[in-house]
Chains A and B, each alone.
Chain A
Amino acid sequence: MAHFEKANSLNEWFDQRLGVNTLQRVLAKEYWIPKDINFLWAMGMVLAITFGILLISGIFLLMYYQPNVDLAFDSVNYTIMQEVGFGWLWRHVHAVAASVVFLIIYIHMFTGIYYGSYKKGRELIWISGMLLFVAFSAEAFSGYMLPWGQMSYWAGMVITNLFSAGSLELNGVVEWIRGDYVPAQAFLTRFFMLHVLLIPVAIMALIGFHFGALRLPHVNNQNGTDIDFEEEAAKYKSGNKAASKVIAFANDFMSKDMFVVAVYLVFFFYLVFWNYAFAMDPVNFDPADGLVTPAHIYPEWYFLWSYEILRPFSKDIGLIAFAFAQVIFVMLPFLDRSPNTVPANRRGLFKFWFWAMLVDMIVLTAMGKLPPAGIFSTIGLVAALVFIGLWLVLPIITKLEKKL
Chain B
Amino acid sequence: MNQTRRGFMGKAFGAVAGVGAVGALYAMKRSWDPLPSVKAAGFTTIDVSSCAENKLVVEKWRGKPIFVLRKTAEMVAAQDEAQNARDIIVEGAHFMIAIGLCTHLGCIPAYREDKTDFKCACHGGEFDSSGINTVLPPEKPLLIPPFKVTGSTVVLGEEGEVYKKMKESGLIA
Please give the residue numbers on chain A whose beta carbons come within 8 Å of chain B beta carbons, in ascending order: 56, 60, 63, 79, 83-87, 89-90, 251, 255, 258
Contact B27 A89 (CB under 8 A): yes
Contact A60 B31 (CB under 8 A): yes
Please give the residue numbers on chain B whose beta carbons come within 8 Å of chain A beta carbons, in ascending order: 10, 13, 24, 27-28, 30-33, 35-37
14 further A-B contacts with Cβ under 8 Å, apart from A56-B24, A63-B31, A86-B30, are A60-B28, A60-B31, A83-B36, A83-B37, A84-B35, A85-B27, A85-B31, A85-B32, A85-B33, A86-B27, A86-B31, A87-B31, A251-B10, A255-B10
Q: Which residue of B lies closest to A85 (CB)?
A: B30
Classify the interface of chain A: helix, strand, loop or mixed: helix
Whole-angstrom distance from the CB of A87 to the nearest CB of chain B?
6
- A-B contacts counted at CB < 8 A amount to 27
Q: Which residue of B lies closest to A258 (CB)?
A: B13
| Interchain Cβ contacts under 8 Å between A and B, 27 examples | A56-B24, A60-B28, A60-B31, A63-B31, A63-B32, A79-B35, A83-B35, A83-B36, A83-B37, A84-B31, A84-B35, A85-B27, A85-B30, A85-B31, A85-B32, A85-B33, A86-B27, A86-B28, A86-B30, A86-B31, A87-B31, A89-B27, A90-B27, A90-B31, A251-B10, A255-B10, A258-B13
Classify the interface of chain B: helix, strand, loop or mixed: helix
Whole-angstrom distance from the CB of B89 to the nearest CB of chain A?
38
User: Which A residues are CB-close (under 8 A) to B13?
Assistant: 258
Whole-angstrom distance from the CB of A268 to the nearest CB of chain B?
13
Q: Which residue of B lies closest to A53 (CB)?
A: B24
CA distance A87 to B13 in the complex (A): 28
User: Which B residues are CB-close (under 8 A) to A86?
Assistant: 27-28, 30-31
Whole-angstrom distance from the CB of B99 to the nearest CB of chain A?
26
CA distance A87 to B35 in the complex (A): 11
Q: Which residue of A lies closest to B30 (CB)?
A: A85
CA distance A258 to B12 in the complex (A): 13
